[in-house]
Amino acid sequence: MAWETVIGLEIHSQLNTKSKIFSGASTEFGAEPNTQACAVDLGLPGVLPVLNKEVVNMALRFGLAVNAKINQHSIFARKNYFYPDLPKGYQISQFEIPIVGKGAIDISTEEGGAKMVGITRAHLEEDAGKSIHDLYEDHSAIDFNRAGTPLLEIVSEPDMRSAKEAVTYAKKIHALVQYIGICDGNMQEGSFRCDANVSIRKKGSKKLGTRAELKNINSFKFLEKAINIEIERQQDILEDGGEVVQETRLYDAVKNETRSMRTKEEANDYRYFPDPDLLPVDIEDEMLTEIKNSLPELPTEKKNRFISEIGLSDYDAENLTAQKSLADYYEVMLNDGAEAKLSANWVMGELSAALNKNQIDVQDSPISARELSELVKRISDDTISGKIAKDVFKAMWKGNGRVDDIIESQGLKQMTDVGAIEDIIDGIIANNIEQVKQFKAGNTKLLGYFVGQVMKATQGKANPKQVNKILNDKLS
Amino acid sequence: MHTLSVAELSKSLKNKEFSSVELTQHYLDRINRSDLNAFITVTDELALSQARAADAKLANGSGSVLTGIPFAHKDIFCTKGVKTSAGSKILDPFISPYDATLSHKLNIENMVMLGKTNMDEFAMGSSNENSFYGPVKNPWNKKMVPGGSSGGSAAAVAGRLSPFATGTDTGGSIRQPSSLCGITGIKPTYGRVSRYGMIAYASSLDQAGPMTQTAEDAALVLNAIAGFDEKDSTSALRDVPDYTKSLRDSIKGLKIGIPKEFFSDGLDSSVEKVITESMKEFEAMGAELQQISLPNSAYAIPTYYIVAPCECSSNLSRLDGVRYGYRCKDPKDLNDLYLRSRSEGFGDEVKRRIMIGTYALSAGYYDAYYLKAQKVRQLISEDFKKAFQNVDLIMGPVSPTTAFELGAIKDPVSMYLADIYTLSANLAGLPGMSIPAGFSNNLPVGLQMIGNYWSEEVLLNAAHQFQTQTDWHSVLPENI
């Protein structure tokens, strides 16, 4: 039977404010346990929350970046449930009226087209503390440092139809929140977390199937795997005539499986109600205009500019703008005067390959954007060939010095002395009488053979364009 | 010394008639001899050290009008380094690591905290019988309750164990015990005094205020505690007038509304007589009386008993035995820890309200209870809004009866009726006050005044003028 997959994502994006959403405590990651939790974060008797205005700005930046309806009057609500790392016995969140309403974002499909994914809402809330169960043998520990860290929960419509599409969407949001400077996007530290709602239905059916919510996914790779494994599980159930149960499932990356955490019946009744300790958030028109004007160039705008002004292909432009850090790197090269298309090839080619291989983020690259732009310029001005440039790149990666020093010290400079190249070519023609005969008889494919011989004789330093030209002149 | 008001004590301290240490020791001795059970904690050493600091300030002339004056805090205000129990077993082990804003404001005046007063657990009650630390006795008749929930504060002031005390009022908890103990108490407009560090019962209704011997004292204390607090988003960003300035203004032409609904069948006839007499006093001072109607006030009790339990069911969730406070012995697992810590730690009335609130907020009931109650609350506010188009003040009884006997009211719903006239001011967020207006069977009767938003000056002025014409506020219980 043909099944269609339906996926919606809930993304928790940690807002990179200095202090917490409702207290003055620091949000810095990695501090000693419970050193960044003040009376408010600990939920002591009598304490009250006070909204950090910066989180409102950040939520609005996001809302405006996805062309969402902004609710200029939004309300904080209490989500009541008991858990030891939830200090107050409720989480302050937004329920009926979130600050960001309906919006949308375009993603590229596997077929190369574009697709719009709806954003249902985005609301502000506080994070809980962290329970640690493996530190002590006989009891659990709690670190409240994370309690009260501001989160923007971004809820998508169930618009995605494959795990790959879900990953593309998640990456797009991941890039966007970094572009607009509201989240550091660090998935290892939990700054960007995805829950996936997955269901399947018969192809052509309009009715949504029963969904499972997948939690505990901390990388894009696992997001794809978790969704695919869940699709398989649901297909097996339905094809055996069973029914999918609405539940929350935890993804286990080690076993690559999902397992039930709680079913709908076991789910909490959160007893949401407006938090009487906080005033509604009211946003003036002027504030919206101000934030709108302060937004940086967004990924889609940048991509379109790369296509129209620089002449990059859609594919190149998409890849270069997918990550803000990569786009920034590329733009430093452009501003430095490196040739655009060649720079794009190097960033997406050698540089990305080396970064991936060594699992390094582009901002930590051993070769700076300026250094790479020097290298590209040496190709453009015929100092070295593209092939030699790859060796220079390797040397630079190892930290063997700057471009020109490497070229100089290793004698990699391209031969541009026409007379010298002609002498070498003459020698090769003299030593390959048979091949010359065949070439002249019409086997023009042999040109490659001659070029190869010249490059071999010059240790790759001859300018291939010159070699081609001279060979053609001499052999015709 | 202990029969003097705050204003009088302030003058005496300034004139060096006695020192703050002497005054403090005098009150500490009185507290030690007292059998009212008005205090949960007496902070002798802290009080004397604060008194010494105050005396130093007074000696070099840098003290304020409140410097060196002893007082007691209702045990609902967090006080750094001092047990803050809210009258509950679950917070019996809790030593607050921080000061409530209100506590801090009195500290910077160099006042002297004698201790923390007894109260109904988490401010839920009208008789002070719901305290983990046992009931408080009414100084006028020790068989009687002092009212609640600020029963300890009221008894401490009436019994002259403290010149004044702080209180909180969610549904009448300052006014009703003030009435039953014959003292002056004011619940300011919601947002006038910071709630930071005041253990929350029902956040949208809770408001702190002074419980004093006189309206003048209330003005002096309110001057110190009122004002915006950046730690409380619901506190009002609004200037605080000097409340003592308008005390002596004439109240000639003051328009007083008397709601007919406050003189219903449940009102004790001897209480009614006292209230009617005191109205005549106001008339004699030139005020104009007129009957008004607050048609929705009949719904105040059911509305309050949805709103307050809903909020408290959530506010008290933090008392889970995990981070502080009481934890049950040898919990088997997490659920057992929650269940037993809370079952053993909370008293019956608190549990009752948590259950009512949890139920009313549950999926499927929210609209019928919480939302409906909010709508009625709006209607009750609108009644007042209309009334204040024609009158400056509303007056009536605080409570339908005088103090009743300890243990006399066992049915919770009958107990809820004790606050029938006070709840609507909380629901509307209006300031309300209780002043001594006379006696019935040797027990004090309080007159309630409800003002428009931010009209504490009008209330205090009217109360002070009444107290210049009457001496109900200075009548003392026997053996004081």
Q: Which one has a higher pLDDT value, A314 or B317?
A: B317
The nearest alpha carbon in chain A to B357 belongs to A271
Contact A48 B195 (CB under 8 A): yes
pLDDT in tens, A192-214: 999 999 999 999 999 999 999 99
Question: What DSSP letter does each residue of A307-321 carry, written as one string?
Answer: IIII---HHHHHHHH
Judge whether residue A294 has pLDDT over 80: yes
Judge whether residue A457 has pLDDT over 90: no
Contact B199 A78 (CB under 8 A): no
Whether A156 contacts A9, CB under 8 Å: yes
pLDDT band at B6 (very low <50, low <70, confident <90, very high): very high
As to burial, measured by CB atoms within 10 angstroms (0-12 exposed, 13-18 middle, 19+ buried), residue B25 is middle
DSSP 8-state class, residue B454: T
Residue B347, C-beta contacts closer than 8 angstroms, at least 6 positions apart: B88, B89, B121, B130, B132
pLDDT of A473 reads 83
Residue A215, C-beta contacts closer than 8 angstroms, at least 6 positions apart: A195, A248, A249, A250, A251, A261
pLDDT of A405 reads 86
Average pLDDT over residues A64-75: 97
**Closest Cα in chain A, distance from residue B322 (Å):** 6
Helix-strand-coil percent breakdown of chain A, rounded to 5?
40, 20, 40
Residues in chain B within 8 Å Cβ distance of A276: 202-204, 234, 311
Contact B234 A50 (CB under 8 A): no
> Helix A324-335 crosses helix A369-380 at what angle (to 10 degrees)?
50
Contact B196 A46 (CB under 8 A): yes
pLDDT band at B147 (very low <50, low <70, confident <90, very high): very high
pLDDT of B185 reads 98
Kindly state the helix (H) or strand (E) to which residue A93 belongs, with its residue range: strand A90-94
Instruction: Give percent of chain A with pLDDT exceeding 90.
Output: 71
> Residue A250: which of A240, A260, A238 has the closest Cα?
A260
Judge whether residue A266 has pLDDT over 80: no
Distance CA A104, CA A117 (A): 6
Distance CA B221, CA B186 (A): 11
Judge whether residue A414 has pLDDT over 80: no
Domain boundary assignment for chain A: 3-288, 297-409, 418-475
A271 touches chain B (CB under 8 A): yes
Contact A80 B314 (CB under 8 A): yes
Strand A273-274, strand A76-80: pairing: antiparallel
pLDDT of B200 reads 98
Strand partners, A13: A152, A192
A89 touches chain B (CB under 8 A): yes
Distance CA B66, CA B43 (A): 19
**Closest Cα in chain B, distance from residue A41 (Å):** 11
Phi-psi region of A241 (alpha: psi -120 to 50; beta: other; left: phi over 0): left
Place of tokens 């949504």: A208
A39 touches chain B (CB under 8 A): yes
Judge whether residue A413 has pLDDT over 80: no
Question: What DSSP letter does each residue of B180-205 carry, written as one string?
Answer: HHT-EEEEPPTTSB--TTBPPSSTTT
A24 touches chain B (CB under 8 A): no
ipTM over 0.85: yes
| Both tokens assigned to A40 | 């408010």
Strand partners, A115: A107
pLDDT of B426 reads 98
Residue A344, C-beta contacts closer than 8 angstroms, at least 6 positions apart: A312, A316, A320, A330
Whether B379 contacts B300, CB under 8 Å: no
Question: What DSSP letter does each residue of B331-352 carry, written as one string?
Answer: -SSHHHHHHHHHHHHS-HHHHH
Judge whether residue A411 has pLDDT over 80: no
Q: Residue A475, Cα to own-chain centre: how many angstroms? A: 52
Of A84, A87, A273, which has the smallest distance from its Cβ to B361's Cβ?
A273
Instruction: Give percent of chain A with pLDDT exceeding 70.
Output: 100
Of A142, A273, A279, which has the smallest distance from its Cβ to B310's Cβ?
A273
List, as ranges, residues 276-295 from A with C-beta within 8 Å of B: 276-279
B1-480: CATH topology is Amidase signature (AS) enzymes (3.90.1300)
| Both tokens assigned to A303 | 């991509």
Q: Edge to edge, what strands does the sheet with B207-212 contain?
A: B39-42, B112-117, B70-74, B165-169, B207-212, B184-187, B432-440, B443-451, B393-397, B255-259, B288-292
Judge whether residue B274 has pLDDT over 90: yes
> Residue A152: which of A236, A213, A90, A61 has the closest Cα?
A61
Judge whether residue A242 has pLDDT over 90: yes
pLDDT band at B422 (very low <50, low <70, confident <90, very high): very high
Q: Over chain B, what is the mean pLDDT?
A: 97
Q: Cβ–Cβ contacts within 10 Å for residue A290, how many?
A: 12
Tell me how many degrees the CA angle B338-B341-B342 measures, rounded to the nearest 5. Answer: 80
pLDDT in tens, A350-402: 999 999 999 998 989 999 999 999 999 999 988 888 888 998 999 999 988 88
**Closest Cα in chain B, distance from residue A22 (Å):** 10
Average pLDDT over residues A127-133: 94
A78 touches chain B (CB under 8 A): yes
Domain range A418-475, CATH class? mainly alpha
Cis check: omega of the bond before B62, within 30 degrees of 0: no
A47 touches chain B (CB under 8 A): yes
pLDDT in tens, A462-473: 877 778 888 888
Q: Cβ–Cβ contacts within 10 Å for residue A81, how many?
A: 14
A138 touches chain B (CB under 8 A): no
A133 touches chain B (CB under 8 A): no
Q: Which residues of B belong to the active site? A: 74, 149, 173
Q: Where does B20-100 show beta strands of DSSP type E?
A: 39-42, 70-74
Contact A50 B317 (CB under 8 A): no
Q: Cβ–Cβ contacts within 10 Å for residue B442, how many?
A: 10
| Both tokens assigned to A227 | 């969704």
Judge whether residue B392 has pLDDT over 90: yes
Q: Edge to edge, what strands does the sheet with A114-126 contain?
A: A103-108, A114-126, A150-156, A3-14, A192-202, A212-217, A247-252, A257-263
pLDDT in tens, A134-154: 899 888 999 999 999 999 999
The single-letter code of the amino acid at A52 is N
Distance CA B205, CA A277 (A): 11
Question: What DSSP letter does each residue of B259-296 carry, written as one string?
Answer: EGGGGSTTS-HHHHHHHHHHHHHHHHTT-EEEEE--GG
Whether A262 contacts A269, CB under 8 Å: no
Contact A42 B310 (CB under 8 A): no
Contact B234 A276 (CB under 8 A): yes
pLDDT in tens, A297-330: 999 899 999 999 989 998 899 889 988 899 999 9
